[in-house]
Amino acid sequence: MVSTEYERRIAARFATFDQDGNGWIDREDFNAAAKALLAEFTVTARSDKGQALYAGAEAFWQGMAGIADRDGDQRITREEFVTGAVKRLRDNPERFAEIARPFLHAALAVADPDADGRLTVADTARVLRVLHVPADVAEATAAALDSDADGTITEPDVIPAFARYFTVAE
């Protein structure tokens, strides 16, 4: 089987969503991502930030399921991901940004203890690594997000970049 660059990238995106690596994406993966982020930044699940992150994770899951879970079994298989999610997200990146926004907004708040709306490049890379983005990709992505090179990253930088990453062109 020939693995094209496109297929390799799709596999990497799937793996990012399939946080527990069991071969499908479901609500548990989104809860696991929220839990891992809270642990990484020592924020409790009961705090306002923790609650917002779990609510964002649930909204993200519901949005993804609405797009990709064709047979309604509450699991997105790799095939559903490739045939449903990837194509539809590519056709409509704004929709993806909308689905992901509450989760990303809450994730950035978790990683921003002084609440000034800015994340360091290092903390942004930490968020990506916790979400199972490979370390070298996480570092490079975080650095690239800091387009004006002032060492900080804000939400308006992150959401379109995240949408671009997942709406990979063929």
CB of 139 to Ca ion, least distance (A): 25
Copy the structure tokens of residue 130: 């916790």
Name the residue nearer to Ca ion (CB basis): 73 or 170: 73
Taking the least distance from each CB to Ca ion, the nearer of 58 and 155 is: 58
CB of 96: closest distance to Ca ion in angstroms? 18
Contacts of 151 (CB under 8 A, 6+ apart): 120, 121
Which one-letter amino acid corresponds to residue 21?
Answer: G
Burial 31-43 (b: 16+ CB within 10 A, else e): bbbbbbbbebbeb
Give the residues lining the site for Ca ion (CB under 5 A): 18, 20, 22, 29, 69, 71, 73, 75
Report in angstroms how near the CB of residue 65 gets to Ca ion at its nearest.
8
Q: Nearest-CA neighbor of 111 among 30, 50, 32, 56?
A: 50
User: Could you tell me the smallest distance in angstroms from the CB atom of residue 62 to Ca ion?
Assistant: 14
Kindly state the smallest distance separating residue 121's Cβ from Ca ion, in Å.
Answer: 29
Q: Nearer Cβ to Ca ion, position 32 or 140?
A: 32
Please identify, using beta-carbon distances, which residue of 71 and 116 lies nearer to Ca ion.
71
CB neighbour class for 12 (10 Å; exposed up to 12, middle 13-18, buried from 19)? middle
Per-residue b/e over 104-140, b at no fewer than 16 CB within 10 Å?
bebbbbbbbeeeeebbebebbbbbbbbbbbeeeebbe
Q: Which is nearer to Ca ion, 22 or 44 (CB)?
A: 22
